Structure 1
Amino acid sequence: MPIPQENLEKAIRDVIPITHLQIIDQSNGCGENYAIFVVSDAFEGKTTLARHRFINEILKTEIALMHAFSQKTLTPKQWEAQQAKEAAETTVAAS
């Protein structure tokens, strides 16, 4: 059963504060395979496993209807560090 991307976004935004959220339908529009990238202060002090379990709990109804689901979760500090690293790599590669 297809899950609209908007349902995933609303479910997440209703529970935790979001700094950045990216949801990608990897099933060419059929809504049965999603990858999400979530950046939130709610992940501070949590392990990656605890973050993923937290998101899985938020989306348990939707995930049960999907064929596949993957996620990446970061704190705002981790996301800033990742962006800085990518920017530095791009600068070095352009030189």
Structure 2
Amino acid sequence: MSTMSRILTGFISRFQAFRFLSHEALETNGEKSLASILQQKFPEASNIQVKDISGGCGAMYEVYVQSSIFRNLPRVQQHRLVNETLKAEIQDMHGIRIATAYVLSKSSNLLYFSLRFTFNKLTL
């Protein structure tokens, strides 16, 4: 790896870490749009987060939805609901990382968490 590549890689990594930890005022339009669609589909969701993990270009997103609707559904069904909700938007993405969760019991605040990666148009 050339010196310039190392410098650029380090800068991009620091920028992404800053963006991840910074205030939501830095949300991209794509993040806001996806979050809005998810909030309409899952109004009972206690937590919805969308992050553009492609550096802001909108090619790859990380989506987290915590909802009671997932409680009695297998992971595949949970992720299918999110995929179907974002079906039109996913067509224009390189990929999406989906994580879903629900509270196991009201008294403990323990979460059941599942994660899946989906890639569209993977080019090597």
Q: Deviations over 1:6-63 (max 9, x none)?
A: 1111111101121011211110011110011110011120011000001000000011
Unaligned runs of 5+ residues in structure 2 are: 1-28, 112-124
Aligned-residue RMSD, C-alpha: 1.8
Larger Rg, first or second structure (1 or 2): 2
Unaligned runs of 5+ residues in structure 1 are: 83-95
Matched, 1:14 2:61: no
8 Å contact kept, 2:45–2:65: yes
Matched, 1:81 2:110: yes
Matched, 1:69 2:103: no
TM-score, normalised to structure 2, is: 0.59
Deviant stretches of 4+, over 2 Å: none
TM-score, normalised to structure 1, is: 0.76
Which structure dedicates a bigger proportion of its chain to helix?
Answer: 1
8 Å contact kept, 1:25–1:33: yes
